[in-house]
Amino acid sequence: MSNAASSRNILQRGTPAGLRFFSYAVLALAIMWLDQRGGWLDSVRFGLSAVAYPLRIALESPVKAWEWTRDNFAERAALQTENRALRERIRALELLSMRRADLELENRELRNLQASSADVAQKWLSARIIATDNNRSRQRYTVDRGAIHQITKGQTVIAGGGLAGQALRVGPWSTEVISLSDPEHAVPVQIARTGQRTLALGTGREGILALPLLPLQTDIREGDLLVTSGLGGVFPAGYPVATVSRVRRDGTSPLAQVDAQMTAALDRDRLVAFIWFDAAHASAPAEAAQRLEATQSSEAAR
């Protein structure tokens, strides 16, 4: 309604308004024709463009700055995500590599344990060392096998290199093992090269045994292998025990001073094994034979 009324007002005011509109239209057409023909407005257009360009840049700068900031943050976030994923993958690969190395080491230790058990061994059970108690007065460690695994007090324990010790205290699920190097432990041995028998005592130093009962003139030298002699009825004969590491004859004592390094490397091995001996074997310790005789007697009595 207002548009129609204003149109009627323009027509009612008469010719001057219509004439002005027509004049403006003709002028605009004339300017367009002249510019098309002669280009005389190019300088005006150039000047206006020079004035408008900074304004255009000023108006577009916030938009471009926002787009740059947004893209930069998005790219940085993507790089951080990718970097985090790569770090996690590297960590997973490292864990996989360590686990593989751990399994290879464990398999090698198991093979060494199996190789260490002589024919006299009827069966063996591997155990993992879970705690150690090593000082000058005690050389002991705890393993994850106990009475529920048929472990008994005094049972022989070996490691990859040879004899390691005996079961000292047996619990339901774990066992305290006394090492050969414990000051309270002794094992009958013989020099493999000569057959000379003697006693190897624990020194309280990790992995070190002493042979304090050898006469000064005994044929023994560094590098000699000591094996179990079978005397005492506890260990079978022939198990590696230690390698002679030091022989000293100073003449002030009738006895030689001999140290030996245990062949079982308990400071490196994580696995040991409990041994059950074949009582019928000729090299079986006396305790195993006694258990066999007791079993046979009880069966005969039935």
51 found inside a domain: no
Residues 165 and 27 in one domain: no
Count of Cβ atoms closer than 10 Å to residue 99 Cβ: 10
**Shared-domain flag, residues 138 and 271:** yes
* Domain identity same for 33 and 125: no
Does residue 30 belong to any structural domain of this protein?
Answer: yes
Alpha-carbon distance of 153 to 60, in angstroms, equals: 88
- 76 occurs within a structural domain: no
Q: What is the residue whose two structure tokens read 């149109």?
A: 7
- Model confidence band, residue 174 (pLDDT cutoffs 50, 70, 90): very high
- Name the pLDDT band for 9 (thresholds 50, 70, 90): low
Q: Other CB atoms closer than 10 Å to residue 191's CB: what's the count?
A: 22
Give the DSSP H or E segment for 252. none
Instruction: Look at residue 12 and tell me if it is in a domain.
Output: yes
Same domain assignment for residues 33 and 135:
no
What CA–CA distance (Å, rounded) separates 69 from 63?
A: 10
Same domain, yes or no, for 273 and 131? yes
Question: Are both 141 and 36 inside the same structural domain?
Answer: no
Q: Are both 30 and 126 inside the same structural domain?
A: no
74-86 pLDDT, tens per residue? 788 788 888 777 7
User: Is residue 164 one of the residues assigned to a domain?
Assistant: yes
Same domain, 34 and 141: no
Structural domain count, the chain:
2
Q: Residue 18: give the domain boundaries.
A: 2-40
Residue 168 sits in a domain of what CATH number?
A: 2.40.10.340
Predicted local distance difference test score (pLDDT) of residue 295: 45
Residue 108 has pLDDT above 90, yes or no: no
Choice among 14-23, 97-106, 183-192 with the minimum mean pLDDT: 97-106
The contacts of residue 267 (CB under 8 Å, 6+ apart) are 206, 207
Query: Looking at the domain assignment, is residue 86 inside a domain?
Result: no
| Residue 121 φ/ψ, nearest 5 degrees | -75, 120
- Whether the per-residue pLDDT at 175 is higher than 70: the answer is yes
**Does one domain contain both 24 and 125?**
no
